[in-house]
């Protein structure tokens, strides 16, 4: 063990790290940057969608590969469970709190990106549920992107799905959120 310490008592050596705790910086800034980017993009695109698509017929783009169709979704993904908006609001709050709690031990860049995508997506849809009609906690989520044979969705939904795919890949590779990997 080294006796030399930085100002404030921080260790200058990885040898002084607590047992079982991986060395390396926390990835909280990366997680937050990804979450803020997703949230800002989601809020801006939903604002534009409401402004440009309200009262208008769907707009086909890319030869019908993508359709812009404004839908106000009171339920979960794909319009399921429309009467449970308050429950989805509570679940989104719990997801946000769980990610923030976990972030203290986050050392993996890839997991920081994945959790940032989930956090930004959850906050994007939670923002709709809190601030849009018919009222706080019961607001309808704005969806506006539609692919052929697929329900209408938004950037927050896309972010959450991308995060789920990344998390599956990271799990299959044996990568842990704390930066550790199982011994070979």
116's tokens: 């940032």
Q: Which band of pLDDT confidence, cut at 50, 70 and 90, is reported for residue 11?
A: very low
pLDDT in tens, 67-103: 999 999 886 665 565 666 677 777 878 888 988 888 8
**Is 143 one of the annotated active-site residues of the chain?**
yes
- Give the pLDDT of residue 79: 58
Q: How far apart are the first and last CA of the chain?
A: 27
pLDDT cut 70: percent of the chain above it: 79
Q: Which residues contact 133 (CB under 8 A, 6 or more apart)?
A: 139, 140
Q: In percent, how much of the chain has pLDDT > 90?
A: 52
Q: How much is the pTM?
A: 0.79
Given 42, 128, 157, 178, which residue is catalytic? 157
Catalytic residue among 3, 16, 128, 143: 143
pLDDT at 2: 43
Q: Is 184 a catalytic residue?
A: no
């Amino acid at each position: 063990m080294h006796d030399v310490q930085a100002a404030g008592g921080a260790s200058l050596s990885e040898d002084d790290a607590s047992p079982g705790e991986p060395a390396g910086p926390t990835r909280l800034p990366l997680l937050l940057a990804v979450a803020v980017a997703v949230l800002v993009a989601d809020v801006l695109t939903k604002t534009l969608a409401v402004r440009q698509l309200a009262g208008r017929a769907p707009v086909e783009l890319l030869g019908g590969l993508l359709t812009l169709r404004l839908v106000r979704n009171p339920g979960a993904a794909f319009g399921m469970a429309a009467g449970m908006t308050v429950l989805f609001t509570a679940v989104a709050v719990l997801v946000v709190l769980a990610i923030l709690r976990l972030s203290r031990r986050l050392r993996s860049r890839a997991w920081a990106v994945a959790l940032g995508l989930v956090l930004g997506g959850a906050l994007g849809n939670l923002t709709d549920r809190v601030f849009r009609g018919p009222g706080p906690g019961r607001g309808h989520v704005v969806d506006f992107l539609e692919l052929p044979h697929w329900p209408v969705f938004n950037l927050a939904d896309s972010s959450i799905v991308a995060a789920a795919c990344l998390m599956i890949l990271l799990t299959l590779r044996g990568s842990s959120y704390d930066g550790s990997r199982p011994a070979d």
